[in-house]
Amino acid sequence: MKISVLGVRGSVPVDGEGFIKYGGATACCLVEAAGQVIYLDAGSGLLRSPDIDNEQVSVLLSHTHIDHILGLPLSRLLLSKRRIDIYAKSRDGLNVKEQLKCLMSPPLWPVGVETYPADIVFHDVDTAFDLGDVHVDMMEADHPGGSTIFRLEHKGRSLVYATDHEHGGDKQKELAVFAKDTDLLLYDAQYTQDEYERMKGFGHSTVSEGMKLFDKCGAKRILFVHHDPRHDDIKLAEMEAQIKNEHAAFARAGMIVEL
């Protein structure tokens, strides 16, 4: 299983000199395993995707908050003639196609989802499914409007993608079981502890809660994602330096992890 981190910024993309080390593009990871090409979220990081030869790719959306779909309208994937299977959960009474239409239709965007050259197939999912030999499991996160945490498994290797999730509720215990013994845990750490006190209920977590979860679930490695757009490279490096564990770090755009 190969994971390419393409974007780890949360909420909105940022750019400029202060955002080079960790990257300013929003949520997107590319997972390649067993011949499958699977994108986890489609934020503006999707625009950094390497060229893909596969005639079919899958996109798993945690939810359709704008930072997780911002890369779709101009993605080369949609502008090519391949088949794209998009998986997400129905939310607010809207299926995944209807959710994406909110962004990809006039007046917000001139091109509708049906107009792209790609053959886009939408899947409304709320339970485990398989992509070839890759098994995908899902659980609901604690996040305003909802968000999906995914677990991908292939040949005894696994990763858990837990972004847009707030600790503190029953879901945290469930997540410790869901992420048990995973090889790689990607976890939302948007806020510092001080910020979290002011941002309770916004649906994001912290490094210290991530480390507690990491110890509890027995994951082999944790990478923190969904960096706050107000945290520049200096701030993020300060936060990262406080982690005293060689198996824990902040994710950076451009990072590649082989499991």
Q: Give the footprint of Zn ion on this chain (CB under 5 A).
A: 10, 65, 67, 164
Q: How far is the CB of 248 from Zn ion (least distance, A)?
A: 21
Using a 10 angstrom Cβ sphere, with 0-12 exposed, 13-18 middle and 19 or more buried, the burial of residue 43 is buried
For Zn ion, which is the closer residue by CB, 34 or 108?
108
Nearer to Zn ion, 35 or 168 (CB): 168
Q: What is the smallest separation between the CB atom of 143 and Zn ion, expressed in angstroms?
A: 6
The whole-angstrom separation of Cα 249 and Cα 244 is 9
d(CA 64, CA 151): 18
Toward Zn ion, which CB reaches closer, 11 or 192? 11
Min dist. Cβ of residue 204 to Zn ion (A): 8
What is the smallest separation between the CB atom of 67 and Zn ion, expressed in angstroms? 4
Using a 10 angstrom Cβ sphere, with 0-12 exposed, 13-18 middle and 19 or more buried, the burial of residue 177 is: exposed
Q: Which is nearer to Zn ion, 67 or 153 (CB)?
A: 67
Of all residues in this chain, which one has the CB nearest to Zn ion in the complex? 65
Q: Work out how close the CB of 17 gets to Zn ion at its nearest, in angstroms, rounded to a whole number.
A: 24
Tell me which residue of 57, 45, 190 sits closest to 120, measured CA to CA. 57
203 DSSP 8-state letter: S
Residue number with CB closer to Zn ion (43 or 73):
43
d(CA 134, CA 192): 35
Tokens linked to 206? 């912290």
